[in-house]
Each structure stands twice: as structure tokens, then as C-alpha cells.
Amino acid sequence: MKNDIFSINLQKHNYLNMQEEIFQDKINAEKKIEPKDWMPDGYRSHLIRQISQHAHSEIIGMQPEGNWITRAPSLRAKMILLAKVQDEAGHGLYLYSACETLGVTRDELNKQLHEGKAKYSSIFNYPTLSWADMGAIGWLVDGAAIVNQVSLQKTSYGPYSRGMIKICKEESFHQRQGYEIMAHMANGTKEQKEMAQDALNRFWWPSIMMFGPQDSDSPRTGNAMKWKIKRKTNDELRQNFIDKTVAQAELIGLKIPDPDLKWNEERGSYDFGEIDWEEFWNVVNGNGPCNEQRLEHHKKAHTEGEWVREAAKAYAKKQTHNE
């Protein structure tokens, strides 16, 4: 074969096609992809985007709940909430750790978050106004996250899959503690029940928006399914969550704020009302009630921690000298 620039490009092209074919065969055979394996650039960048968004969500998600630690109504509630918020930090770190295996640094991921280039789940841009919101978040937000994460345990990227398995083991305590708060309040005084219903009213729609745009408006779903990064589509996961949750609301005497919610015998699922996608995109694009506050707080904590990181480095250097 001639070695002019055209044939070199052709050889490179053929090589990439061959690699991509081997890669897709592995995916189709349900084999996991590990960090050192060859992978298409698009697979890598999709994973970095998805995993970092997931990690940022865990970390930013500490804020709305952290807001209530000092005002928890009992010592028991306070200890539980502290443990839960600590778990969220842990989940964020498992995910950053998985993301770093793709060749991106933690500093870069933080920078993308601070510059608004990386997103986090919009649900955390809503304020937590009452103690009942701690119930609603655990029950609905963690509940929705579990549905998503259970399906992601089978994602094709090894480190992400292992992170999801660990997170799922820890997450069910979160949902149960939230539902317990809701059940207590729903069975409490009239005012307490109203607070619980109010929290459900405010968090229901944002929770079902957590699964993202409808499949018909989700441009990246195709590749994510082909590469088995995602195992179920946004709409499938959303339906799954709604079907699980309706009976839980009924059991504690709360009403899901959707007049169109109706059991569909034929589908074996609930039909539900139209989601306000304008609100969804508005919050995603930075105009939710707390977007600015959440990001500012993260930047502030990061900046104020600078001296700690420096001191730790200086201490380590000194230790090495002394050894």
C-alpha cells in the first residue's frame, strides 16, 4: 500500500472502525468496559458528562438538607439527617472517583461546575421551606434517584456500575427515613398533615422531572442506549417511579397533586398529566429559585477550603523530608 497521506488516513479510519466494532461487540455481549480499554471518544465524553453531573448532584444536594440539620425537631431526627447528608457526600466522592478513571481531574470537574458548564439535578434548585420537605426529599427525590440508580447498576462502564451498586445499598435508608417523616406528619395534627401535603405538592412535579426530558426530546438517548450507558429511557424510569409511589401516598392519606393521574388497566400503569417542560428548562438553564445560591455556596466552601488543602500539602512535604 502507498504511504501517501490519503492512504495513511484511510488506514487510520479502518483501524478506528475495527476498534469500534470490537467495542460494540463487547457491549452487546454485556461485557463491562474498564478504564484502560479502548473506547470511542463519544462514549468517554458522554460518561464524563453523565457521571460528573451525577456527582455534582450528590454534593449540591447536601445543601437543601443541610439547611435543616440545626433545626431538626428531635435528637433522633438530627442524627439521622446528619448521617444522610454525610452519605450524600460519600456518594458524590464515589462518583468523582469513577469519573476520574476516564482521565479527567477533580479540579477540572469542579471548574466545569463553577463555570456552569456542568449541570446538576435541577431538583436541588428548589428551596426547603419546612421540616416536611426533609420527608418529601427523602421519599420522592431519593426514591426517584433509586429508580434511576438501580437501572444504572447494569451500566456498561465498570467503575460507574460498581459505584452504583454501592450507592444503591446505602440509598434505601434515605428513602425510608423520608417516608417515615411523611407518615408521621400525615398522621399528626391538622397543621402537620397540611405541611406534609404542601411538601408533596411542591416536590411532586420537580421529582418526576428529575428523569429528564421525554424520550422524544432527549437527543443523546440513542447513543447512551446503544452503548448501554443507560439501560432504560427517561420515560420508562419516570413511569416506573410513578407506579411505585402512588400507593405509598395513598397509604399515608396524602394526595398526589395531579388531577389527571389515573390507573390505566390496559397498560398496567398510571396515566399522568402533562409536565410543565417550560419550568423544567427554565430551572435547567439557571433560573430556578435557588440556582445562584447553590453555586455561590459551593464556590465559597471551595475557596475557603484552599488553606486547608495547602496546609495538608505542606505537612505531607515536611513528613517526606523527615523520613
Partner 1 sequence: MNKAATIWEVFIQSKNGLPHKHVGNVHAEDKEMALQNARDLYTRRNEGSCIWVVKSEHIVSSVPEDEESFFDPANDKVYRHPTFYDLPDGAKHI
Residues that bind partner 1 (CB under 8 A): 34, 36-38, 83, 86-87, 90, 93-94, 97-98, 100, 105-107, 159, 162-163, 166, 170, 309-310, 312-313, 315-316, 319
Closer to partner 1 by Cβ: residue 68 or 94: 94
**In whole angstroms, how close is the CB of 155 to partner 1 at the nearest point?**
16
**In whole angstroms, how close is the CB of 182 to partner 1 at the nearest point?**
24
Closer to partner 1 by Cβ: residue 33 or 150: 33
Half-sphere exposure of 86 toward its Cβ, with a 13 Å CA cutoff?
6
C-alpha cell at 114: 463553577
**In whole angstroms, how close is the CB of 121 to partner 1 at the nearest point?**
22
Region at 30 (left for phi over 0; alpha for psi -120 to 50; beta for the rest): left
In sequence order, the 6+-apart residues with CB closer than 8 A to the CB of 99 are 47, 48, 51, 52, 55, 109
DSSP-H helix ranges across the chain: 5-28, 41-60, 62-66, 75-100, 106-114, 132-136, 142-152, 158-186, 190-209, 221-226, 234-251, 277-282, 291-304, 306-322
Q: What is the DSSP string of 230-257?
A: SSS-HHHHHHHHHHHHHHHHHHTT---S
Give yes or no for a contact between 55 and 99, defined as CB atoms under 8 angstroms apart: yes
Closer to partner 1 by Cβ: residue 19 or 287: 19
**In whole angstroms, how close is the CB of 163 to partner 1 at the nearest point?**
7
**In whole angstroms, how close is the CB of 138 to partner 1 at the nearest point?**
17
**In whole angstroms, how close is the CB of 316 to partner 1 at the nearest point?**
4
The C-alpha cell 417542560 sits at: 277
Closer to partner 1 by Cβ: residue 106 or 114: 106
Closer to partner 1 by Cβ: residue 74 or 319: 319
Closer to partner 1 by Cβ: residue 24 or 214: 24
In sequence order, the 6+-apart residues with CB closer than 8 A to the CB of 241 are 143, 144, 147, 207, 208, 211
**In whole angstroms, how close is the CB of 77 to partner 1 at the nearest point?**
19
Amino acid in position 187: N
Closer to partner 1 by Cβ: residue 79 or 251: 79
**In whole angstroms, how close is the CB of 262 to partner 1 at the nearest point?**
41
Closer to partner 1 by Cβ: residue 20 or 236: 20
The C-alpha cell 469542579 sits at: 110
